[in-house]
Amino acid sequence: MRILVTGAGGQLGRELIEVLASHEVHGRDHRGLDITDRQAVVKVVEEVRPSWVINAAAYNDVDAAEEASELAFAVNAAGAAYLAEAAARAGAEMVHISTDYVFDGRKGSPYSELDRADPLSVYGRSKYEGELQVQSAHPSACVLRTAWLYGEYGKNFVKAILKAAERGGPLKVVADQVGSPTWTRHLAQAIGELIQTPATGLFHVANAGACSRFEFARAIVHGRVEVQPISATDAARPAPRPANSALVSARWEAAGLQPLPDWESALADYLGDDGRRADIRRRAGRRVEADR
């Protein structure tokens, strides 16, 4: 297949370029394609003539978006719509990446695709508007909500915690925000599987399970430094975050697609930690025994 990947310089975009290497992949970072430029979008889609457009481009600085709402909506909503329009006109299918931050986090349990979106932040509102515009312009598009991405490329929570741990502890990490950490490699592989199927519509795609930022940080450092819990109020970030935006899918397996591994084993694989993988297997074994 011929695939156009936008946002190809980001952490998911670069992962997609590698995972989809068996196809003819055309990557465009923000320098190669400004998706807020409608004419540029149309020109690139007409030149590439893709069978799939995968939009991994986003304005994802959650805190800065509070003061840059115009830019956030230009990229996350209007830009996404331009891509959807151009893809539909060219007869290309589309995958658009969205976020768990479309939810307010007040449900108290994981969100499925059947739950109502109610974003708290400018970033979340811009991403939700992008979902709506993509689905309007390209009714057969796949919209994938994912969460707490980390991987080899770009900046992310895992890299930040590891760097902070190198400087020594204790680390203070928010304990009252829960989500679904997701390895970009697994997400990219899931997208590679998705585009081989006729599936369409909205999907939640994240590594299984959920944890708080505090629990995630403890798993990352694995006892090397002390991690202390703090509240979101203590952290005093400019943008509000959902208290519990963990994701589950009511549609992914129903479409015949493989669920992603649990977040603990994904993290261990990402870190290349054989000892940690063994610990996870032992804990999983104990859970199985307890269930019998």
Q: Which of 101, 123, 128, 270 is catalytic?
A: 123
Q: Any idea what the CATH number is for the domain that residue 172 is in?
A: 3.40.50.720
Q: What's the rounded Cα separation, in Å, for the pair 80 and 87?
A: 11
> What pTM was estimated for this model as a whole?
0.90
φ and ψ at residue 205, rounded to 5 degrees? -135, 105
**What is the average pLDDT across 31-38?**
95
**Quick check: 10 pLDDT over 60?**
yes
120-163 pLDDT, tens digit per residue, is 999 999 999 999 999 999 999 999 999 999 999 999 999 999 99
**Quick check: 284 pLDDT over 60?**
no
Q: What's the rounded Cα separation, in Å, for the pair 199 and 190?
A: 12
Rg of the chain, C-alpha, whole Å: 19
**Before 170, cis peptide (omega within 30)?**
yes
The answer to the question of residue 228 being in a domain is no
Q: How many domains are contained in the chain?
A: 1
Q: Note if 101 is an active site residue.
A: no
Q: Give residue 50's domain range.
A: 2-212+235-287
Q: What is the pLDDT of residue 281?
A: 46
Q: What's the rounded Cα separation, in Å, for the pair 166 and 171?
A: 11
149 in helix, strand or coil?
strand
Residue with the larger pLDDT of the pair 43 and 289: 43
Which amino acid is located at 103 in the chain? F
The answer to the question of residue 223 being in a domain is no
**Quick check: 291 pLDDT over 50?**
no
